[in-house]
Structure 1
């Protein structure tokens, strides 16, 4: 790609003379140029050689520009005498590039003008001239899609050279700012490229500093279609990069820190950070389940009060961050994002096992016209059942009476499993009986779990009524074998004779 050191091929004396033409241009000053270009070209040698045809033809083999998608093997044959004369006249720098190109406009094809851009973008050439040529093309309305892609590729190659040359982040940002002076507004893909380059080089802190600098200067960029599902701005893209690597907490902290530092990340970055909160809560829940399994197996010690407190605090801090991010989306974003916000909050509360808050988000989603999937209602129903939230359970079961048998069985099965998980076996037994009355047969493992839970409770309290009632109902439905009844009768025959 074109060397960033080839952005200017002049000494400071030539630089000062040539750049006087830009003083007073909107958004541009010789002072601002001096921040970027002297730094970039400090190792350049003056190269004011008049171009000869043979020399110009050799520019296809240079090593500093990789633009094969724009150059073909036929390009040399397409170069007319007008092309060589234009190169020679531009290198003389006796007149403004716009005057030279305007005079030769009719003699240069669109392809030749593209090749002029490539020629001056080479290392050792006056690459600022490439920007002047592009500016003239834009003013003459001769920048088509291919030419724009070519210039963006050239700009990206300069940016890459700056980054690989370990220049200051301010120099990279300066280059993006100055490109706007010639009508080449930085696109999001250019921002994305800078972040990706730093990231791939392992300079993650520099990627963070770059995004901060972009926000501080208020640099705008061309919006692009969000075809990848993770774009929207430099903050969101970097937060997404962190999240993809599994650094969920870092992604959340990064976005919140920028916002609380007085900067203004794009709204989409808040949604990315909310997704990271969900993923971190989900990872926490999975880790806790594993630890509890190890504790039951005697492999690790049970959680003490202090550890439980630390876990709960970490979870509550994550939820607080997610709520704060959701508030910023609602404050700064459009109403079309409200449904997505409630969807993220729903996922947060499901992962953290907060039934009532999750139920509320279901209704909030419905109010803004984003109906949640029926499976999400069932999951929230199970969470509320495990916490024995009777009112919420009643609201969530509304409508199941008119639903299909398959849908009804699925919802009641989730309700049953929620009761089992929460240890509410009387309610679980009633749910099994209700399903049987409706002609719905609970799964074998669910029935066995309820019976096992009731048997354990008999050993503790001696109460057998619920167990007997459930056994009789299961027997009537041919869902329980006589061997189970025999074992029960053998152990509790005095109570059963009395009951029967």
Structure 2
């Protein structure tokens, strides 16, 4: 993922001593996490003198495993003089490096970075050295990768040391001020580090701080995959299966006055879809247990709670969609209606889902034929005849195979909703078109009609379907028995 420059509301991000003479220069010392930098104390002691041996420098650099002892002879005296001069802190690092520019190779400058990046050293110098290299156009790919590795190490140590979140954000700001811009998002890297270390609450606080300070960040493609810190954090929650938490995160950020990226709303809508889908699965399992007699039937109070939970999720999804429309651009309209369509399908809302199909079409994002069939089945289960008629108009211009598939979905929708007479009419329509329903579909409708005789006493739908199936060769002749209780008379009829 591309990394957009970090930026704050500053008049300038130029490198100044006062900006970096702050405690974060010594975040990384093992001996102390003091908020007072060594550089300041050195200036306050006029009798301070410092000398550093060549062997100490070699040993120190070796700690980072950047070079081996075999390379000791390859380093010039200028390298050791530069280290000693920078350690004394009597001149600006840029002045020291400028005076030794011709005496230091690219490799030696990298080693200077490594030396000052280690624990117990003045990390401020490493930042200044890199800034000077960038201004001198001496930052090649290898040097950039080295400094990125150093910065990632510093970030990791801050997180492992449980420093306040503000310290981590400050470090990222410093990184941008010295022109360090890796090919990936450091903000997402930080979120991942917090997440992997189980510090999920700190990850949330970190993203809040990034948004509060208005730090710029990279946004992803139009499909809304992970783009930006809020979306990436919500995505991490979804990976863990915490769909509702991901939704709440984005909504809470927005309602608290922060400005999450637009794509985070789309990711939160995806979380709504997943939560609705999981909720529907659990509900189906619950109903199957009740049907098998393993648990009691759901009472009115429980049904009300179920409907309320589902309605809350849908309202949150609609709210998120409105924010996308307000803060985003028209190119996202199709994606928004696609998410809303998935939400209504999972919730079994046929009419609302059908409306989203047409909204998608108007936005230039045609839905797949399978989605039309699914929505048709939902509408059939709810006997929404007007919506069914509109959806069936699309079937008229399709192939025979496609028509059979669509009508099969319609048939199953009617059967699922208990509308067996409508299902029977659908079978007749299929047979008129030369299409033959599947055996299980025919059997389910016949069974439903047979059960309906006991309730309504109406034999005609069942008898008509039996006769038509027999005429089409889809069933053999059958005997129909009817008992007339008033006359204590059995009547048999061959179909």
Which one is further off, 430-439 or 310-319?
430-439
Change (3 A) 1:402 1:437: same
**Structure 2 residue aligned with 1:475, among 459, 470, 473?**
470
- Give unpaired runs (5+ residues) of structure 1: 1-22
| 1:108 CA displacement | 2.9
Q: Does 1:92 align with 2:88?
A: yes
State the alpha-carbon separation in 2 of the partners of residues 138 and 60 from structure 1. 22
Q: Does 1:254 align with 2:249?
A: yes
Q: Does 1:57 align with 2:58?
A: yes
Q: Does 1:344 align with 2:344?
A: no
Q: Aligned pair count? A: 468
* Partner residue in 2 for 1:415: 410
| 1:49 CA displacement | 5.3
| Secondary structure of the corresponding residue to residue 246 of structure 1 | coil
1:171-204: CA deviation from partner (whole Å, max 9, x where unpaired): 2222222333322368863212222222222222
| Secondary structure of the corresponding residue to residue 398 of structure 1 | helix
State the alpha-carbon separation in 2 of the partners of residues 398 and 228 from structure 1. 30
Asked if 2 retains the 8 angstrom alpha-carbon contact of 1:28 and 1:181, the reply is no
**Structure 2 residue aligned with 1:370, among 361, 365, 369?**
365
Change (3 A) 1:392 1:297: same
Q: Does 1:304 align with 2:299?
A: yes
Describe how 1:95-114 pairs up with structure 2 within 5 A: 95-114=91-110
1:311-362: CA deviation from partner (whole Å, max 9, x where unpaired): 1111000000000111111111122211111111000000000011111111
Q: Does 1:153 align with 2:149?
A: yes
Asked if 2 retains the 8 angstrom alpha-carbon contact of 1:179 and 1:186, the reply is no
* Partner residue in 2 for 1:466: 461
Describe how 1:55-454 pairs up with structure 2 within 5 A: 55-62=56-63, 65=64, 79-184=75-180, 189-221=185-217, 223=218, 230-454=225-449
Change (3 A) 1:304 1:154: same
Asked if 1 retains the 8 angstrom alpha-carbon contact of 2:421 and 2:461, the reply is yes
Which one is further off, 79-88 or 270-279?
79-88
| 1:57 CA displacement | 2.9
Change (3 A) 1:413 1:77: farther
Change (3 A) 1:267 1:29: farther
Asked if 1 retains the 8 angstrom alpha-carbon contact of 2:357 and 2:372, the reply is yes
Change (3 A) 1:346 1:225: closer
| 1:116 CA displacement | 1.8
Asked if 2 retains the 8 angstrom alpha-carbon contact of 1:188 and 1:224, the reply is no
| 1:94 CA displacement | 3.0
Asked if 1 retains the 8 angstrom alpha-carbon contact of 2:78 and 2:103, the reply is yes
Give the TM-score normalised by structure 2.
0.87
Change (3 A) 1:81 1:199: same
1:89-143: CA deviation from partner (whole Å, max 9, x where unpaired): 3223332221222233233333332222112101122211110011111112222
Change (3 A) 1:228 1:329: closer
Asked if 2 retains the 8 angstrom alpha-carbon contact of 1:169 and 1:210, the reply is yes
State the alpha-carbon separation in 1 of the partners of residues 21 and 345 from structure 2. 53
RMSD: 2.9
| 1:302 CA displacement | 0.7
Asked if 2 retains the 8 angstrom alpha-carbon contact of 1:35 and 1:171, the reply is no
| 1:403 CA displacement | 1.1
| 1:390 CA displacement | 1.1
Which one is further off, 144-153 or 200-209?
144-153
Change (3 A) 1:447 1:458: same
1:245-287: CA deviation from partner (whole Å, max 9, x where unpaired): 1111111011100100000011111111111100110011001
Change (3 A) 1:227 1:339: closer
Which one is further off, 186-195 or 338-347?
186-195
State the alpha-carbon separation in 1 of the partners of residues 180 and 463 from structure 2. 80
Asked if 1 retains the 8 angstrom alpha-carbon contact of 2:414 and 2:423, the reply is yes
State the alpha-carbon separation in 1 of the partners of residues 169 and 156 from structure 2. 12
| 1:52 CA displacement | 3.8
State the alpha-carbon separation in 2 of the partners of residues 396 and 57 from structure 1. 77
| 1:489 CA displacement | 4.1
Change (3 A) 1:35 1:56: closer
